[in-house]
Structure 1
Amino acid sequence: MACTSFFEVLIAAVVLMLGAGGLLHGMLLLGWTAMILLLGWMYYLRMRDWLIHSRVMTCDLVERMVGHRTRLTQERPDQLHEIEDQLLSRYAMLSKRLDSMEVIMKSAAGRRGWLPVSLLGTLTMFFSTGVGVSMFAVSLGGTLLAALALDQLVQSIYQLLKTVMSWEQVYPLYQAACREHARKVPQFIPATCFKQQKEKHPVIQAEKLNFSYPNSGQENQGILDECDLAIQAGQSVLLEGASGCGKSTLALLLSGLQQPDSGSLHLFGFSLASLGEEAWRKRVVIAPQFHQNYVLTETLAFNLLMGRGWPPSQEDLMEAETVCRELGLAELLEAMPSGLQQMVGEGGWRLSHGERSRLFIARTLLQKADLIILDESFAALDPETLQIALSCVLRRAKALLLIAHP
């Protein structure tokens, strides 16, 4: 429609140039068309702002509904709807701007605006210059032809912009389904050098680590003080201690999720700065405490392999099922009608406390890291299940740091 409309506008411009107004009348039509394109661009910008704000309001509403109980206990009653009022006020303003631009495009910029202006110019030329009736008829025909073309142009631009905005909404989802198999990541450390370092150095080595949380209320007293630790390949280390002694903090430092205040930390002889956060976190994987870990409302396969890569291969799915069975989840898999493709989480199959714990362990093992850190991952398991799960972890982990209470 847009291409046809542009072609008809050009024909109408030629006809107008042959009429009473001449070149000036044809240029007026082309200028009017340029104005419509400018208004279309302004309408696009306003519609995009309106859509973005609509998404913000929707996301805010969902988050507030999901966290409603926490919100009631933590927010002051007089501030419960303050942000909502601001969002609604801006939404009303953006809606008004969008509607006004739509009215201008559909009415003033189309034939309703063009016909009075063009006819007034034609009549002025007819009476002032005294052109013949035939020239006046040509101008009148060109004006009517241009009016129909401009009306179709406005409608086509309006629909085209809505199509563009719809595509922009789904484009991120379309891109999320694409996987860059051959994405090149810059390697700052040659593979041969890294292999040599693995043979000479421990998996991870910490020397004189110091760490304290800001505003902890403890003057000159850190959570970790001159901490030393070394874990070799194939070694399993049990870290015990009372609550609050710094076990989880040390795990966060080793996994690269926190940075020490002072001291040195090396993975196969490389520091975090030289190896990079991405490479570090691929080689040191942590399963945090139960309340800090989550089951997403997705398939069991996604929850197991989300740290390994998606979409998975058939080999990935087979290994995920094997690990689950080794952790004692065979009965769960057999009970699920869809197996690994069963939806779990709040919107699907409800997992017990122990099943969730073993899912977190399996998710960690399937990432095939050089060092696995399990932070109280066995606390919810009975002695028999714990023995089964621990045997699987000891058999599959290249190096293990297990955190537990005494």
Structure 2
Amino acid sequence: MNVLPHTLPGARPDLPEGHRRILDGIDLTVHRGETVAIVGESGAGKSTIAMLASGLITPTRGEVLLRGRPTTTMRMTELARSVALITQETYVRHETIVENLRYVAADATDEEIVAACRAAQLHDLIASLPEGYQTVVGEKGYRFSGGERQRLSIARALLKRADLIILDEPTSQLDAQTEEQLNTALAELFADSAVLLMAHRLRTVRTADRILVLSDGVVRESGTHEELLAVAGGRYAALYRMQDDALASSRSAASAD
């Protein structure tokens, strides 16, 4: 099995006055077929790791390796083919749905496009539109909700067959039931890729092979969901129980209404 290392050491210690480290001493390897989740509060550094791993920014110190090669030595076209980035904000072109999907996989067949959309739980919506896959989504995708645009982004990643899939809060705009269904599907569909998952909602990462708890740019805990829950006084366990209690209270309030 190929190894896809992504080593992300933190910024140099001699920072100019007024600057601060975003990441400090991060050393991470993600293997093909493995899902590594990075969790933490807003501002912990999750999105910075996503941008580093995708080659959108370069580290002040250290390097990012993809299939053993520094991403700084790769052409942008090669990097774009190798990495799929799914973020909270999905870029949608003022074109048809099928054109929005084919621009990441020009040779994709109609059958492959439909299969990807089914997997991303988007096909039924598209099929219900009068013009189906030929529907023009509109400027910035205004015809789609935020959650539907995220599912479009997931369908693109499936078509792309990238070596590295980076999911930066990929289900932030989905309801709990759809999120659960998608998480189950994604675990199977991205099984041949290395997957780096950034999430604030911890229910999203329960099935990850490894979970890293990030705080102020430093990895504070690492392990599986079960291992981290068992850590007495651990950050992950405390945050998970807090979120679980909040979800239970929300459901209870909804039932009462």
Q: Same fold (TM over 0.5)?
A: yes
**Pair 1:265-2:64 in alignment:** yes
**Identity of counterpart residues, as a percentage?**
36
- Within 1, Cα distance between the matches of 2:160 and 2:123? 20
**Pair 1:250-2:43 in alignment:** no
Aligned length: 198
Q: 1:211 touches 1:224 (CA, 8 Å); kept in 2?
A: no
Give structure 1 stretches of 5+ with no counterpart: 1-198
Aligned to 2:27: 228
Q: 2:83 touches 2:163 (CA, 8 Å); kept in 1?
A: yes
Match of 1:357 among 150, 168, 171: 150
Aligned to 1:340: 133
Rg larger for = 1
Give structure 2 stretches of 5+ with no counterpart: 202-257
Q: 1:298 touches 1:345 (CA, 8 Å); kept in 2?
A: yes
Q: 1:336 to 1:236 in 2, by over 3 A?
A: same
- Within 2, Cα distance between the matches of 1:381 and 1:336? 20
CA offsets per residue over residues 162-181 of structure 1, 9 Å max, x none?
Answer: xxxxxxxxxxxxxxxxxxxx
Q: Cα RMSD (Å) of the superposition?
A: 2.4
Aligned to 1:287: 86
User: Which letter does structure 2 place at the counterpart of 1:251?
Assistant: A
User: Which letter does structure 1 place at the counterpart of 2:197?
Assistant: L
Query: Which one has a larger percent helix, Structure 1 or Structure 2?
Result: 1
User: Which letter does structure 2 place at the counterpart of 1:334?
Assistant: A
Q: Normalising to structure 2: TM-score of the pair?
A: 0.70
CA offsets per residue over residues 211-269 of structure 1, 9 Å max, x none?
Answer: 89x99xx7352111111111001001111111111111111111111011011221111
Aligned to 1:399: 194
Q: 1:348 to 1:380 in 2, by over 3 A?
A: closer
- Within 1, Cα distance between the matches of 2:92 and 2:48? 23
Q: 2:93 touches 2:140 (CA, 8 Å); kept in 1?
A: no
- Within 1, Cα distance between the matches of 2:188 and 2:26? 28
Instruction: Write out aligned runs for 1:7-406 (5 A).
Output: 199=1, 202-210=3-11, 219-290=18-89, 293-309=90-106, 312-313=107-108, 315=109, 317-346=110-139, 350-397=143-190, 398-406=193-201
Query: Which one has a larger percent strand, Structure 1 or Structure 2?
Result: 2
Deviation at 1:349, TM superposition (A): 7.3
Deviation at 1:372, TM superposition (A): 0.4
- Within 1, Cα distance between the matches of 2:167 and 2:186? 10
- Within 2, Cα distance between the matches of 1:221 and 1:334? 49
Q: 1:272 touches 1:280 (CA, 8 Å); kept in 2?
A: yes
Deviation at 1:378, TM superposition (A): 0.2
User: Is the partner of 1:226 in helix, strand or coil?
Assistant: coil
- Within 2, Cα distance between the matches of 1:248 and 1:302? 28
Q: Normalising to structure 1: TM-score of the pair?
A: 0.45
Deviation at 1:296, TM superposition (A): 1.6
